[in-house]
């Protein structure tokens, strides 16, 4: 036998039995995001490596160690499989003149790639949905995006397991000042810092606050808080945001150690977190990034956005016992060549009438017993049966597959109404 191929580590298949949950998520998402007037943008997976270095930041986990990067075939440029969507979205917005003097609300969905240690809820190919709004500097846009995510959790029935943590990083200048104050504090504990934090002390000290290592928690708890070093405008912005959230009944927790791992954020940062997924508890993360557009060569444009990991949302639904419908509605059984022909014709008539009933017409032959087994396996609620007897009478037999009821016979012209009564439109 030839050697079998297997999937690349950390790049899981989504199997047919799991796809229903993805569809359910995507359907809810599309409906909800269009209700808020956001437009979809579809972006390429490959971008120039420099785009991510300049936006996410050289000294971040993503750029330092998580990117899938390789040389183009002609060896002229370095390419990277996108680890996130914001950089590409901003690049496209500038390139196509979508941002200049305009207000834009956009969203995207698709695979992202990060070279991480694979575990439950953490993969090397995973999927994000994200939104970005450009041209708005007031807190109303943060509030809009938080309201729409809160609504999403309710629609997905996971709102009871998710909480919102917010923080403000202040202006870039305030952040720079705070960075020095933090470094001065951390240097006193240099010997006690773990290896990651030792490295970050030089490259990205704010990220140390985000460490999940229990041994680091006392040092982190004693660190000066960036809240105390915010510029006045950022303080006003943050207070305004918190006030609006309270007025609208959106619960939140201020987490002074929330810094986010990417360089481009200023002022507002937030995460929606759950305690049901262990170390993979961040479900959705976002914030304001008012300088990124300029940094990538565009005009000064305020911006706010977030991204969520679809796999983590589906894992959370699974942990809460929320199931999505995978089964078909109808399994159409038939016996004999003539009945088979009529069955195929009639099934097309039913699809002309209502395309939202999910129906399998049996194929592959076999007797009634075999076909009923297949019908059962399909999870169908209803089996329709067409044999010689039914053909002669102009009827169809019906069996409820999930109930202990007798098979019944109905005339062909009653079938549509019967299905509406039992399956809806
Ligand atoms: P974490 O702290 O868990 O590594 P992150 O801060 O790196 O998350 P972001 O870059 O903010 O994550 O990405 C936004 C969202 O994308 C996360 O909240 C998470 O839901 C999801 N996500 C990020 N990395 C992965 C991954 N490797 N596998 C699955 N989902 C991921
Ligand atoms: Mg990460």
Looking at 319, 354, 378, which one is the last position of a domain? Answer: 319
Tell me whether residue 162 is in a domain: yes
For residue 62, which atom of ligand 1 is closest to its CA?
7
What does the pLDDT look like over 144-174, one tens digit per residue?
999 999 999 999 999 999 999 999 999 988 8
Domains contained in the chain, number: 2
335 and 265 together in one domain: no
311 and 338 together in one domain: no
Tell me whether residue 68 is in a domain: yes
* pLDDT at residue 202 greater than cutoff 90: no
Percent of the chain with pLDDT over 90: 81
Q: Residues 396-403: what's their mean pLDDT?
A: 94
365 and 290 together in one domain: no
262 and 373 together in one domain: no
- Dist. CA 114–CA 11, nearest whole Å: 10
What pLDDT does residue 371 have?
96
Looking at 319, 353, 387, which one is the last position of a domain? Answer: 319
CATH number at residue 120: 3.30.930.10
CATH number at residue 382: 3.40.50.800
What does the pLDDT look like over 285-341, one tens digit per residue?
999 999 999 999 999 999 999 999 999 999 999 999 998 877 899 999 999 999 999
For residue 312, which atom of ligand 1 is closest to its CA?
20
What pLDDT does residue 262 have?
76
Quote the tokens at residue 190: 């240099």
334 and 313 together in one domain: no
Q: Is the CB of 108 under 6 A from ligand 1?
A: no
Q: 355 lies in which domain range?
A: 330-423
For residue 281, which atom of ligand 1 is closest to its CA?
3
What does the pLDDT look like over 99-121, one tens digit per residue?
999 999 999 999 999 999 999 99
Starting from the CA of residue 65, give the closest ligand.
Answer: 2
Residue from 87, 307, 310, 311 whose mutation best tests the ligand 1 pocket (most atoms within 8 A of CB): 307
Determine the distance separating the centroid of ligand 2 and the alpha carbon of 62, expressed in angstroms: 7
Q: How many CB atoms lie within 10 A of CB 84?
A: 18
350 and 403 together in one domain: yes
Rounded to two decimals, the pTM is: 0.89
The residue among 44, 39, 62, 92 whose CA lies nearest residue 296 is: 92
360 and 414 together in one domain: yes
Mean pLDDT value across the chain: 94
167 and 306 together in one domain: yes
Q: Using alpha carbons only, how large is the chain's radius of gyration in Å?
A: 27
Tell me whether residue 359 is in a domain: yes
Q: Residues 354-359: what's their mean pLDDT?
A: 95
């Amino acid at each position: 036998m030839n050697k079998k191929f297997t999937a690349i580590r950390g790049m899981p298949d989504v199997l047919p039995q799991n796809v229903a949950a993805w569809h359910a998520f995507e359907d809810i998402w599309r409906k909800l995001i269009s209700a808020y007037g956001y437009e979809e943008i579809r972006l390429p997976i490959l971008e120039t490596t420099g785009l991510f270095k300049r936006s996410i930041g050289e000294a971040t986990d993503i750029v330092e160690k998580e990117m899938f990067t390789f040389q183009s075939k002609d060896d002229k440029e370095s390419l990277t499989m996108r680890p996130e969507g914001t950089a590409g979205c901003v690049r496209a917005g500038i390139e196509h003149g979508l941002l200049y003097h305009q207000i834009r609300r956009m969203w995207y969905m698709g695979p992202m790639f990060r070279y991480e240690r694979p575990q439950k809820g953490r993969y090397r190919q995973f999927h994000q949905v994200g939104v970005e709004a450009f041209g708005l500097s007031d807190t109303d846009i943060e509030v809009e995006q938080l309201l729409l995510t809160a609504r999403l959790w309710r629609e997905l029935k996971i709102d009871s397991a998710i909480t919102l943590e917010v923080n403000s990083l202040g202006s870039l200048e305030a952040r720079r000042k705070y960075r020095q104050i933090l470094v001065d504090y951390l240097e006193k504990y240099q010997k006690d810092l773990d290896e990651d934090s030792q490295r970050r002390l030089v490259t990205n000290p704010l990220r140390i606050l985000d460490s999940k290592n229990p041994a680091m928690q006392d040092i982190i708890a004693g660190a000066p808080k960036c809240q105390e070093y915010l510029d006045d405008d950022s303080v006003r912005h943050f207070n305004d945001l918190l006030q609006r959230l309270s007025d609208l009944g959106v619960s939140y927790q201020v987490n002074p150690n929330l810094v986010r791992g990417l360089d481009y954020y200023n002022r507002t940062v937030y995460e929606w977190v759950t305690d049901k997924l262990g170390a993979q508890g961040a479900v959705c993360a976002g914030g304001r990034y008012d300088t990124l557009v300029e940094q990538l060569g565009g005009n000064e444009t305020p911006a706010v956005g977030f991204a969520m990991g679809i796999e983590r949302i589906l894992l959370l639904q699974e942990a809460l016992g929320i199931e999505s419908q995978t089964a078909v509605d109808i399994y159409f059984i038939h016996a004999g060549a003539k009945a088979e022909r009529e069955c195929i014709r009639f099934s097309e008539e039913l699809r002309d009438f209502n395309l939202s009933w999910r129906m399998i017409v049996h194929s592959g032959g076999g007797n009634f017993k075999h076909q009923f087994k297949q019908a059962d396996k399909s999870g169908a609620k209803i089996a329709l049966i067409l044999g010689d007897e039914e053909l002669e009478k102009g009827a169809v037999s019906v069996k409820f597959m999930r109930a202990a009821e007798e098979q019944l016979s109905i005339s062909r012209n009653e079938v549509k109404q019967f299905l509406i009564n039992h399956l809806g439109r």
